[in-house]
Amino acid sequence: MDKDSAELTLKILKILDDKKALELKALYVGELTTVADYFVIASGTSTTHVKSLCDEVLERLEEEGVTVNHIEGYNSATWILMDYGSIVVHIFTKDERNFYSLERLWGDAKEIALDNVIFD
């Protein structure tokens, strides 16, 4: 596991938590795919909330010099995918998250325990 990727994953989770994202999860997928090391999965309460979560991650990371490689789904805002290279952020509405069930699809991935992570 890449330490920088792990730290950025936690930073993204904090940003999403600060903006009241629901059902935050982080999966280590680095041993299962070459696409990314981590998936961050979150839900918003509406398409407006999903967009605001995406905007907040973009803005706060850009302030630190971290730019997104690619974004998909922003206009429909039912599932926004943000590609940060070693980290892919998935922000869903509840219905879309239930429908696509990434946690089930990537069931062999190691879930990062957030119990001991303090979001101040």
The single-letter DSSP state of residue 101 is -
pLDDT at 114: 79
pLDDT tens-digit map of 62-85: 999 999 999 999 999 999 999 999
Q: pTM of the full predicted structure?
A: 0.92
How many Å apart are CA 49 and CA 20, to the nearest integer? 9
Q: In 10 A of CB 5, how many CB atoms?
A: 18
Predicted local confidence at residue 97, as pLDDT: 97
Domains of the chain: 3-112 (3.30.460.10)
The partner residues of 68 in beta bridges, in order of sequence, read none
Q: Report how far residue 109's alpha carbon sits from residue 77's, in angstroms, rounded to the nearest whole number.
A: 26
Distance CA 67, CA 84 (A): 7
Report residues of the chain scoring pLDDT below 50: 1
User: pLDDT at position 118, please?
Assistant: 57
Give the pLDDT of residue 113.
Answer: 82
Nearest in space to 16 (alpha carbons), one of 46, 44, 47: 44
Residue 15 has a pLDDT of 96
